[in-house]
Amino acid sequence: MQLYTKTGDKGDTGLIGGERVKKDSNRVNAYGTIDELNSLMGYIISQLTENDRVLKRELIEIQHTLFDCGTDLADIHGKLECKVTEETVQNLEEIIDDYADKAPLIESFVLPGGHPIASLLHMARTVARRTERQIVTLGSEEAINQPVAVYLNRLSDYLYAVARAVNCTYNVKEILYERGGKVFHPELKKEDLK
């Protein structure tokens, strides 16, 4: 099977439904960065051990959802039913809540790093944030499936929570950012923030 089609040689690509757009369009940038994030997730999964099988299952499921996000963004005219829904976001929020209690409370930012897996998760978190910014740009110009933007926002929270939990599991002390004030307020309950 021939892998190259030559249809994009002049700098355009096809969306779902057949419309062609420039490869540097905001839409293609957004779902292209999702692909970058998905590849990074694959690398993280490749570094996990048998002890990390729960995390591995979660990350593989996230990879599937990232493909869903890309599909929703490539479907410019809504030819398909949206794959990412509010329920998708809620499911991720439940997992985040589980991880939130696995690391000690902090009142300041942490420097990204620690255990090698935690460091990779922090890298993925920053790519998720960049993806979210690109989706916000796209959404200000064209219609998008809004739960995709919300999912990417929550995904960066998930990656942060998991990175902290990994450092805690492997007894790696996190380095707190020393030059800022108190930014997290542990005395506030989640209900108070709504």
Identify the structural domains of the chain with CATH numbers, from first to last: 15-193 (1.20.1200.10)
Q: Which residue did the predictor score with more confidence, 169 or 15?
A: 169
Instruction: Tell me the per-residue pLDDT of 94-124, one tens digit each, with 9 for 90 and over.
Output: 999 999 888 767 776 777 899 999 999 999 9
Which of 16, 38, 35, 12 has the alpha carbon at shortest distance from 25?
12
Whether pLDDT at 192 is above 50:
no
pLDDT (0 to 100) of residue 175: 77
Cα–Cα distance, 144 to 151 (Å, whole number): 13
Q: What is the mean pLDDT of the chain?
A: 86
Whether pLDDT at 158 is above 80:
yes
* Token pair in block for residue 102: 């696995």
Whether pLDDT at 194 is above 60:
no
> In the predicted model, what is the mean pLDDT of residues 19-39?
85
